[in-house]
Amino acid sequence: MTDIGICEYVPAWANSPFAGDNLAPWFAVREAETIIRNALRKIGEEYSMDGEFAIHRTATVEVGVVLKGPGIIGARCYVAAGSYLRGGAYLAEDCIIGPSSELKSSFMFSGSKIAHLNFVGDSIIGSGVNIEAGAIVANYRNELADKAIRIKIATGVIDTNVEKFGALIGDSVRIGANAVVAPGALIAPGTKIGRLQLFDQYPY
């Protein structure tokens, strides 16, 4: 039940610096720091280093951003003031992190946007994804005694054997303002999640 391939949701993974890391998505985000550190060893001269963060020369990182590496910020990205990137963060080209947003142990692919006042934890975000203001991608089942992430899918239940995993978000997904994606979500490409909606795949 655990044969969920990242590339089924995010084809760009196959051509990314992480293509050789053929892990289930919940294991990939758990190993985000190691995976990104390995990619940093091959980073090009068009990047400058800020601690353990590689920042492309065409990217904009405003004053007041907190970067706790390792991480990579790609070409033409924009990271707004008050944002916090930590625990292994990867932004492909043309990504936007809006003001006062937090990205933790996550991978974002080209043209994706986190508007502002967002938290996204332990997730993989495909290309062309838009996450509106205030929306949360939660990564931990604080409300349950058993914190293990389980995901209900059409063919059964996936036991991930991890306690922290946010979501695998396919290309071109739209998540409305103040929506909540509960821990352990597999969101198919092109899905639209409405404003104030809860998206939860836990097998209650």
The catalytic site residues sit at 116
Collapse the DSSP code of 65 into the 3-class scheme (helix H, G, I; strand E, B; otherwise coil) and give the result. Answer: coil
CA 163 to chain centre: 16
d(CA 33, CA 48): 19
- Closest listed residue to residue 151, CA positions, set 173, 166, 137, 131: 166
What is the helix (H) or strand (E) element at residue 7, kind and residue range?
helix 6-9
Q: Distance between CA atoms of 111 and 88, rounded to whole angstroms?
A: 19
